[in-house]
Amino acid sequence: MSIYIVQLLTGVAYGMLYFMIAAGLTIILGVMNVVNLAHGAFFLLGTYFAFTFMSLHLNFWLALLLAVIVTAILGIIIEKLLINKLYGKELEQVLLTFGLTFVIADCAKWIWGTEMQTIAVPELLNSSITIGEMVFPAYRLFVVLVGCILAVILWYLESRTRVGAIIRAGVDDRAMVAALGINVRLVFTGVFAFGAGLAGLSGVLGGPLIGMYTGMDSDILVTSLIVVVIGGLGSWKGSFVGAILIGLIETLGKIWFPSLSMLIVFLLMVVVLMIRPQGLYGKVVSQ
Amino acid sequence: MRKTKWKFIGVMLLIVVMILSACGNSGESGDAASQDKIKIGFILSDSGTFAPLSENIKNGFKLYLEQNDNKLGGREVELIFEDDEANPQVALRKYKNLVGSEKVNFLVGPISSSVVYALRDEVEKDKVILIDANAAGNDLSWDLRSDYVIRTSFSNWQNGSSAGSYIANNIGKTAMVIAPDYPAGQEVASAFKESFEASGGKVVKEVYPKLGTNDFATYLTDVSQTNPDVVYAFFTGSDGIRFVQQYNDFGLKGKIPLTGPMEFGDLLIVEPSGDSAEGIVSGIIYSPWIDNEENKQFVEAYQKMYNKLPNTFSVQGYDSALIIDKAIKEAGSVDTEELVKVLKGISFDSPRGPITIDPKTNNPIQNFYIVENVKKDGQVVPEVIETIENVTMPETNPAK
Amino acid sequence: MKNNLFIILILIISVSGLPFLLSGFGVDLATEIYIMAIFAMSLGLLMGFAGMVSLGHAAFFAIGAYTVAILGQFINNVYILILSAIIIAGLIALLTGSLFIRTSNFYFLMITLAFGQLLYALAWQLENWTGGADGMRVSATLDFGFGEIASPLAIYYLMGIAFIFVYILLKLFVNSPAGRIIKGIMENPSRMAALGYEVRVYKLLVYSLAGALAGFAGSLYGYFNMFVSPDLTYWKFSGEVMIMVIFGGVGTLIGPVLGAGLFIILQNFISSYTERWQLILGAILVLLVLVGKGGIIHWFGYFKEKFIIRKGTKNVETSKPIEEEREVIT
């Protein structure tokens, strides 16, 4: 029994990391209609920035905060300088963000080198809890907790605040937002920075679990795109459910279908899209 | 109006032609200029997860050149680096450039076995010497052996089998094997199984997670349920670091001894893993603390040049330069056939110990060191327990 | 039509003349560019003429290449192998397409990505057939019944001919009634549906055709490289082809060809000169997108606009007074 609890918690912990990165991706897609292939790069940058701040003897929490802020600022710069120029040209935006992944990954390699590193678990959480006869690292529980808090914050933002209303309107009908006299450009910049920050957060929190290495950006990107697809574009609720689903399937799939572990996530996505072409919580959009 | 568009296309095609022809000519002009100069082409993986391996191989190679006035076998050397992205298709294209256009005398490379298998037929056809500085696929020494491919690193068979008998005799008789689900993983695992069981041990369970697994919780809970005497795990790169850390996180460290091939005793994994790597027993080919004169000088020079300690891959790069240097000197020319004759059976003193290229397998006969990672002055270092001399790869696949 | 003949003539001249200008590696690179151009055109057809953006198109390329590698162990016949590569890729495209075209836009992009990754995992795991991650060698020989074609120059001409052949074929298809309907569907699906056209059938037709063509390119690639590996169906390869298409210009046939040529040359050149090739290539991509005006094929249009519009405005200026005069007169 306790084995299953450990597996479940593990799946949920990874699901939460996927949720944080997918939440940004989905909202950028939903509001701005940008398939941001550079999102994995923000994840990577989050980890690398945190590593740098921690090697300057800042503690984990300060490093976390600074890394998220710096990543978000970088998001603002990229949005203002580049993506802004291509509003409405979707294919070009895909190509642009694809080019950015090359640039960012190579710059990271240049600045930080190719050596693999890890981010130390903060002192406070560097312990294990015992579940039955099994041991579970406390840090993972913390990740689950942060994910849940984030979900609540996003839910509150979306349903109870003006910002949320604008974003919801943006997902439904972009033209309407502009017609309401809202500064669309500002909304876009904000959304992009917010998404980048979330990816950075996911990177920092994932640091102690996943480590930091060249190529981590593309490893995470595909999975988070799948989460977005399964959940439905522009839906935080969808991302949350999709991410936990993927986290669980990945973990439990290893036990039940070990030979399928490479395929299972993609199979899940194909099945979901066959039944619901717009994802679990996506709205049906006319073409 | 439409006509101008086609003119434009014509112009574009012309540009393409011009670039292509420039591309082709670049190599030939330099060819006749200096006959003594030799060209060495590198096919390594600079982007992606193999990047640290590539960088260390290059560092080691460059260090040897630095120590020898940028000369190998008394000749000036020009290095050309190409990135294969760990993709055989890209590697083949780069190969055609290096051999067809740059006309390199030697190739040094690749990181991944799939690339070396793809290149193998080509070097055989074009008669170019490939110094395999890393790719460890067994078949390169067996069914796919080529006279033109000389390996300076090690084979998966050597890597897996080296520690087997030590573990069976000293640590435990029942083992659980965990290795990634790809050819190298299976080759290392089966070589370990063979040598471990030959020494009276028994592999009670084998699991193969997919390559690039983020989380080993599933397998680690499996370990604690199976409760073997010892765990033998093979993971490279970031997978390896994660495995070592999670082994600690899930409370298995100190309970069931963790063992593995050279990766778990190599600084690339040991350094970032921190205290989690303490206590692991592994069979390695190199560590900066191996006691011999060559190594002392090598470590000192390497630290001076790069301000960090060398790892296994640095020494593989260093030895690749060394072997080219020695072969040219012994052959007295850069003629391929002469070089092949010399390279087969060549011996040299490497920082990792004495090495002979086995003419039967084109694979190095070398020492493996059984090490235990111990904590010294706040740093985890691999400490040699036992030396297994002259580990030699069998001439044919023992499983067949 | 005259223009089409003109461009085909240019293509024939450049394909036949190139080897006299190029050295060994140049010929090899050009050969690869022809194969990639066929591949890029097939995706260009899908993206530019049917509006379906696929991020898993490499799957069909890989199917073609693996068909030659796997079947080639048993049947060493070029005709049968290439034909079966085309048929198998086309059939799989037809089957998967009938499921995938239910989704649209981003979801289509993602589901094709998933399909490519599924094949990647299969190629990786079905070791006994595909050689797994280590890849497998192609044992089939390129022999059309009059001796093995082995010299790089002969292979070059073969691929060049295949490339021109596919170009002509696609040009004919695009200008055929079916091609026009498909373009119409992309531009306004509901209108075409209202006119009584089966939107899905036409979409499926393009998808299968693009798949079969990619399979054809893949089979040629198998013969050219003599080695196949799972990387052929990895999403990054699909991404690269997509770059070639967007790079060259969506909505044209020659655009993807130019894109393929420039991308491969750039990738090769930069990486030969610097280890920072990713940075430079990425920066070039970003720059090209910002100033690219929708692909290199359209640059000329842009320059021409600048150039001719100046002339045009003069015309407007000169014509205006005349109109005013007329007004005065009337």
| Statement: residue A102 has pLDDT above 70 | yes
For C233-282, what is each residue's pLDDT tens digit? 998 899 999 989 988 888 888 899 999 999 999 888 888 778 888 899 89
Size (chain B), residues:
400
Positions of chain B with pLDDT lower than 70, given as ranges: 1-35
- Indicate the residue of B52, B218, B268 with minimum beta-carbon distance to A7: B218
Using CB atoms, list chains with 3+ pairs below 8 Å to chain C. A, B
Q: Where are the domains of chain B?
A: 35-155+292-366, 158-285+368-391
Residue B301 one-letter amino acid: A
Q: Collapsing DSSP states into helix, strand and coil, what is residue A137? A: strand
Using CB atoms, list chains with 3+ pairs below 8 Å to chain A. B, C
Is residue C220 within 8 Å of residue C199, measured between CB atoms? no
The pLDDT assigned to A256 comes to: 80
Residue A258 maps to a domain: no
Q: Does B219 touch chain A (CB under 8 A)?
A: yes
Contacts of A222 in chain C (CB under 8 A): 113, 117, 235
Is residue C251 within 8 Å of residue C48, measured between CB atoms? yes
Confidence category of residue A168, pLDDT binned at 50, 70, 90: confident
Determine the structural domain holding residue A85 and report its residue range.
Answer: 16-216
Q: Does residue C26 or residue B108 have the better pLDDT?
A: B108
Q: Chain B: give the shortest CA distance to residue A261, in Å.
A: 7
Is residue A96 within 8 Å of residue A82, measured between CB atoms? yes
Q: Does A229 touch chain C (CB under 8 A)?
A: yes
The pLDDT assigned to C160 comes to: 95
Q: Do A102 and C285 touch (CB under 8 A)?
A: yes
CB atoms within 10 A of CB A3: 18
Q: What is the mean pLDDT of residues A102-110?
A: 93
The pLDDT assigned to B47 comes to: 80
Q: Does B45 touch chain C (CB under 8 A)?
A: no
* Chain A interface, best mutation among B111, B181, B205, B210, by max A CB count within 10 A: B210
**Burial of C147 per CB tally in 10 Å (0-12, 13-18, 19+):** exposed
Confidence category of residue C292, pLDDT binned at 50, 70, 90: low
Q: Does residue C308 or residue C288 have the better pLDDT?
A: C288
- Rounded (5°) CA angle A99-A102-A104: 105
Q: Chain A: give the shortest CA distance to residue C282, in Å.
A: 4
| Statement: residue A267 has pLDDT above 90 | no
Is residue B81 within 8 Å of residue B43, measured between CB atoms? no
Contacts of C227 in chain B (CB under 8 A): 88-89, 92, 117-118, 121
- Indicate the residue of C29, C229, C300 with minimum beta-carbon distance to B20: C29
With residue C228 as reference, give the H or E element that holds it. Answer: strand C227-228
Q: What is the mean pLDDT of residues A233-259?
A: 87
Contacts of B80 in chain C (CB under 8 A): 272
Q: What is the mean pLDDT of residues C155-170?
A: 95
Confidence category of residue C192, pLDDT binned at 50, 70, 90: confident
The pLDDT assigned to B67 comes to: 94
Residue B358: strand pairing partners: B363
Residue A239 maps to a domain: no
The pLDDT assigned to B21 comes to: 56
Residue A163 maps to a domain: yes
Residue A128: strand pairing partners: A137
Give percent above pLDDT 90 in chain C: 45
The pLDDT assigned to C318 comes to: 39
Q: Chain A: give the shortest CA distance to residue B7, in Å.
A: 26
- Indicate the residue of A7, A14, A136 with minimum beta-carbon distance to B214: A14
CATH number of the structural domain B158-285+368-391? 3.40.50.2300
| Statement: residue A44 has pLDDT above 90 | yes
Q: Do B25 and C23 touch (CB under 8 A)?
A: yes
Partner A, chain C 88-127, Cβ-Cβ below 8 Å:
99, 102-107, 109-111, 113-115, 117-118, 121-122, 124-125
Q: How far, in Å, CA of C167 to CA of B291, rounded?
A: 66
- Average per-residue pLDDT for chain C: 85
* Residue bearing tokens 């500085």: B133
Interface A:B, Cβ pairs < 8 A:
94
* Chain C interface, best mutation among B2, B3, B8, B120, by max C CB count within 10 A: B8
Number of H-type helices and E-type strands within chain A: 11, 2
For C87-136, what is each residue's pLDDT tens digit? 999 999 999 999 888 887 788 988 899 899 999 989 988 888 998 888 99
Contacts of B209 in chain A (CB under 8 A): 254, 261
| Statement: residue C298 has pLDDT above 90 | no
Compute chain B's Rg from CA coordinates: 23
- Average per-residue pLDDT for chain A: 88
The pLDDT assigned to C319 comes to: 39
CB atoms within 10 A of CB C313: 10
Give yes or no on whether B35-155+292-366 and B158-285+368-391 have one common fold.
yes
Q: Does C285 touch chain A (CB under 8 A)?
A: yes
Size (chain A), residues:
287
- Indicate the residue of B51, B208, B250 with minimum beta-carbon distance to A214: B51
CATH number of the structural domain B35-155+292-366? 3.40.50.2300
Query: Which chain C residue lies closest to B80 (C-alpha atoms)?
Result: C272
Predicted TM-score of the model (pTM): 0.88
The pLDDT assigned to B49 comes to: 83
Provide ipTM, 2 decimals: 0.89
Q: Does B155 touch chain C (CB under 8 A)?
A: no
Confidence category of residue A176, pLDDT binned at 50, 70, 90: confident
Looking at the structure of chain A, the number of domains it has is 1
Is residue A152 within 8 Å of residue B239, measured between CB atoms? no
Residue A128 maps to a domain: yes
* Helix, strand, coil percentages in chain C from 3-state DSSP, rounded to 5: 80, 0, 15
Of C247, C254, C204, C303, nearest to A91 (Cα)? C247
Confidence category of residue C316, pLDDT binned at 50, 70, 90: very low
Q: How far, in Å, CA of A189 to CA of A75, rounded?
A: 8
Confidence category of residue C330, pLDDT binned at 50, 70, 90: very low
Is residue B281 within 8 Å of residue B303, measured between CB atoms? no
Q: How far, in Å, CA of C118 to CA of B299, rounded?
A: 46
The pLDDT assigned to C304 comes to: 60
Dihedral over Cα of B300, B306, B309, B310: its sign: negative
Q: What is the mean pLDDT of residues A147-155?
A: 94
Contacts of C304 in chain B (CB under 8 A): 1, 4
Q: Do C261 and B181 touch (CB under 8 A)?
A: no
Dihedral over Cα of A254, A255, A256, A258: its sign: positive
Using CB atoms, list chains with 3+ pairs below 8 Å to chain B. A, C
Residue A259 maps to a domain: no
3-class SS letters over chain B: CHHHHHHHHHHHHHHHHHHHHHHHHHHHHHHHHCCCCEEEEEEECCCCCCHHHHHHHHHHHHHHHHHCCCEECCEEEEEEEEECCCCHHHHHHHHHHHHHHCCCCEEEECCCHHHHHHHHHHHHHHCCEEEECCCCCHHHCCCCCCCCEEECCCCHHHHHHCCHHHHHHHCCCEEEEECCCCHHHHHHHHHHHHHHHHCCCEEEEEECCCCCCCCCHHHHHHHHHHCCCEEEECCCHHHHHHHHHHHHHCCCCCCCCEEECHHHHCHHHHHHHHHHHCCCEEEECCCCCCCCHHHHHHHHHHHHHHCCCCCHHHHHHHHHHHHHHHHHHHHCCCCHHHHHHHHCCCEEEECCEEEEEECCCCEEEEEEEEEEEEEECCEEEEEEEEEEEEECCCCCCCCC
Q: In A173-215, which residue ranges form alpha helices assigned H by DSSP? A: 174-179, 184-210
